[in-house]
């Protein structure tokens, strides 16, 4: 059974760096083809894809946020970490991590419950 859970601060001040951790079980990020992505959703708005990391350490980022994001993995801990620099109130959102099952399947089949991050002074 695949599960994912996001963790991190609920409140961050503008200009600070946000660090979120996705802890997962039921799969290994050393398995060929597997990826873990981050998606966010501002209150009342649509989903926005942020970043994704693959089993082979390949990373992909949203072009609009690429300069502010870093995604890394710790396979031994079954964790993926997303770092976002210089946060702004517009970054207030629920942040989800999600599992991409394989290179032949172009969707996210398991999602975490999400964590709400508020950016405010």
List all residues 6 or more positions away from 81 whose beta carbon is below 8 Å from its beta carbon. 19, 20, 21, 22, 71, 72, 73, 74
Candidates 9-17, 24-32, 44-52, 84-92: pick the segment binding other proteins (CB under 8 A).
44-52
By the rule CB under 8 A, 43 interacts with other proteins = no
CA 26 to chain centre: 18
Instruction: Work out how close the CB of 93 gets to other proteins at its nearest, in angstroms, rounded to a whole number.
Output: 13
Interacting residues toward other proteins by CB under 8 A: 37, 39, 46-49, 52, 60, 62-63, 96, 105-109, 111-114
């Amino acid at each position: 059974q695949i599960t994912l859970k996001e963790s991190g601060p609920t409140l961050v001040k503008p200009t600070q760096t946000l660090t979120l951790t996705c802890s997962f079980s039921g799969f290994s990020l050393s398995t060929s083809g597997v990826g873990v992505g981050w998606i966010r959703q501002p209150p009342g708005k649509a989903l926005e894809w942020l970043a994704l990391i693959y089993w082979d350490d390949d990373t992909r980022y949203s072009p609009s946020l690429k300069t502010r994001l870093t995604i890394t993995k710790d396979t031994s801990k079954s964790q993926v970490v997303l770092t976002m620099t210089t946060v702004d109130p517009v970054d207030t959102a629920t942040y989800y991590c999600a599992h991409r099952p394989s290179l032949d399947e172009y969707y996210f089949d398991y999602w975490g419950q999400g964590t709400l991050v508020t950016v405010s002074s």
